[in-house]
Amino acid sequence: MAQTQKVVLDADAIRRSVRRVAVAILEATSGIEDLTLVGIRRGGVAIAARIAEEIAEAEGKAPPIGTVDISLYRDDAATALPNPKIGPTDIPFDVSGRHVVLVDDVLQSGRTVRAAIECLQDYGRPARVWLAVLCDRGGRELPIAPDFVGRTIEVDERGRVDVWIDAAGPDRVVLTEGG
């Protein structure tokens, strides 16, 4: 069976999805007083920046943004990462007592989010951890659900969702099925 690819979100749809997520975050957290965003490397970093821009437009000020690299927190790090490319974790604020929104591009198994929560705990004890994703593709292995979702995409177990933001070419979300 041949692989098929289709763009499921174009640049405009991504922009609208990010705007909806930003508004939902503001509604749920009652503003930006204790709000922080933490993008999960790699895909969540650009999404977190876009959400912060939307929040800044609505509130006149952006919340602090950090990033986490979960490579060493993965439950399969010893077998899946023989030569890991570890990026920096940069959380330039105290997360203790704050509302932290973890941001990723695609939610599938939940393992990346579990690792990000574990990493985040090394930086303090948040009042609450929320999860925002651009795309929820299903296929959970862990009981993790997003609080804020840009778009839910139905994908079979062999399908793949790729998010291209701040890359060569226009922003897009591509669904690959078959093969």
Strand order in 128-136's β-sheet?
Answer: 65-68, 35-40, 99-107, 128-136, 148-152
User: Which among 46, 103, 41, 26 is positioned nearest to 72, based on CA atoms?
Assistant: 41
Beta-bridged to residue 102, according to DSSP, are 38, 131
Helices (H), the chain: 11-29, 43-59, 77-80, 111-121
Distance linking the first and last C-alpha atoms of the chain: 5
- Per-residue pLDDT for 130 more than 90? yes
What is the Rg, in whole angstroms, of the alpha carbon atoms belonging to the chain? 16
Report the pLDDT value the prediction gives residue 42, as an integer from 0 to 100.
Answer: 82
Domain ranges for the chain, please list them: 11-154
* Residue-level pLDDT at 158: 86
Instruction: Answer positive or negative: Cα dihedral of 143, 7, 16, 22.
Output: positive
Q: What is the reported pLDDT for 93?
A: 93
pLDDT tens sequence across 137-170: 988 999 999 999 999 998 988 899 999 998 788 9
Fold of 11-154: Rossmann fold (3.40.50)
Does residue 122 carry a pLDDT above 70?
yes
Which residue bears the tokens 């890991």? Answer: 84
More confident residue, 75 or 45: 45
Distance between CA atoms of residues 103 and 64, nearest Å: 13
Q: Which residue has the tokens 């993965």?
A: 74
Q: Residue 41 and residue 98: Cα distance in Å, rounded? A: 21
Mean predicted confidence (pLDDT) in 47-74: 94
Q: Tell me the HSE value of 139 on the side-chain side, using a 13 A CA sphere.
A: 19
Instruction: Give whole-number Cα distances, 118 to 37, 73, 74, 87, 139, in Å.
Output: 16, 7, 9, 16, 21
Question: For residue 171, how many other CB atoms are within 10 A of its CB?
Answer: 19
Residue 54 has pLDDT above 90, yes or no: yes
pLDDT in tens, 69-94: 998 886 665 455 455 566 788 999 99
Residues 89-121 pLDDT 10s = 899 999 999 999 999 999 999 999 999 999 999
Over residues 5-44, the pLDDT tens digits come to: 999 999 999 999 999 999 999 999 988 999 999 999 989 9
Query: Is the pTM value of this prediction over 0.85?
Result: yes
